[in-house]
Amino acid sequence: MSALLDVLRRHFPEFLSGFFVTFRVVAISLAIAISVGTLVGALRVAPLRALRWIGTTYVEAFRNVPLLVLIFISFLGLRRAGVGIGPWVAGTASLGLYTAAYVAEAIRSGVFAVGKGQIDASLSLGLTYRRTMTKIILPQAARTVIPPLGNLLIAMIKNSAIIGASILALPDLLKQARILQARTFQTNETFFWAAAGYLVLTLSATFVVRRLERRLAIRR
């Protein structure tokens, strides 16, 4: 027990810096995932077939390729093709665009979950199709989608460890733990604290999502 606390006390700055790197990776990737995912989700329910096709292609491409392969393509592949992007861009873009495919699917299902009667009622008042979307359908869809988005956020926090373990070698929480483990050979202790760090992030995410859900919930 004292060994465990001792590792944390001695290497707290390293753990903390790893924790914040992971936090930044997650925050940037989340912004990408939500914005791209919303756009792609909107394409998936667009009235034009060509737009739906673009959305579907995106989802199938990014959902069906392993995240690690995306990282290799974006970091090594693009570099070989003459587009040199750094590990931060490659990592956050890969994780963000990968998660965006799932976000798009969640948003699509949220739009479909809003009853057709809502569209009828809105149109019958004289609202245009566009206003019906922005005033009636999307606000309800966004609320339905909060719990599945929470799940995606948690998955994304955990997936972010792949970035630290990959060739990108960003000094995130897992990477810092591996460096410490190699230096100190206190394997169980260092990885215990890494796990605890991830737990702090995922549990906070759960807490925030629950509050959001309660505040915005629609009682039916």
Partner 1 sequence: MAIAPQDGRLVELEGVRKSFGPHVVLDSIDLSIRRGEAVVVAGPSGSGKSTLLRCINGLEAIDAGDIRFEGQSIPKAGKGIYRLRAEMGMVFQSFNLFPHKTVLDNVTLGPIEVKGLSRLDARARARALLERVGIPEKADAVPADLSGGQQQRVAIARALAMEPKLMLFDEPTSALDPEMIREVLDVMRDLARDGMTMIVVTHEMGFAREVCDRLLFIDSGAIVEDAPPEEFFRGAKSERAREFVDKIIHH
86 forms part of the interface with partner 1 (CB under 8 A): no
6 vs 120, which CB is nearer to partner 1? 120
CA angle 142, 67, 164 (to 5 degrees): 105
| Tokens read off for 62 | 């990014």
128 vs 184, which CB is nearer to partner 1? 128
Neighbours of 132 (CB within 10 A): 18
Neighbours of 7 (CB within 10 A): 21
The correct pick among 21, 26, 136, 177 for binding partner 1 (CB under 8 A) is 136
The correct pick among 4, 127, 154, 165 for binding partner 1 (CB under 8 A) is 127
Contact 168, 74 (CB under 8 A): no
35 vs 128, which CB is nearer to partner 1? 128
125 forms part of the interface with partner 1 (CB under 8 A): yes
The correct pick among 131, 158, 210, 211 for binding partner 1 (CB under 8 A) is 131
**Can you tell me the distance from the alpha carbon of 26 to that of 196, in angstroms, rounded to the nearest whole number?**
16
Closest to 23 (Cα-Cα) out of 179, 168, 164, 182 = 164
Contact window for partner 1 (CB under 8 A) among 23-31, 49-57, 97-105, 111-119: 111-119
215 forms part of the interface with partner 1 (CB under 8 A): no
113 forms part of the interface with partner 1 (CB under 8 A): no
220 forms part of the interface with partner 1 (CB under 8 A): yes
**Can you tell me the distance from the alpha carbon of 32 to that of 99, in angstroms, rounded to the nearest whole number?**
9
Contact 195, 202 (CB under 8 A): no
Amino acid at 28: I
Contact 8, 15 (CB under 8 A): yes
Contact window for partner 1 (CB under 8 A) among 14-22, 68-76, 120-128, 178-186: 120-128
Amino acid at 83: V
The correct pick among 122, 166, 186, 190 for binding partner 1 (CB under 8 A) is 122
- Tell me how far the alpha carbon of residue 161 is from its chain's centroid: 12
The correct pick among 31, 120, 203, 210 for binding partner 1 (CB under 8 A) is 120
Q: How many residues bind partner 1 (CB under 8 A)?
A: 21
The correct pick among 13, 48, 117, 215 for binding partner 1 (CB under 8 A) is 117
Q: Which residues bind partner 1 (CB under 8 A)?
A: 115, 117-118, 120-128, 131, 135-136, 139-140, 143, 218-220
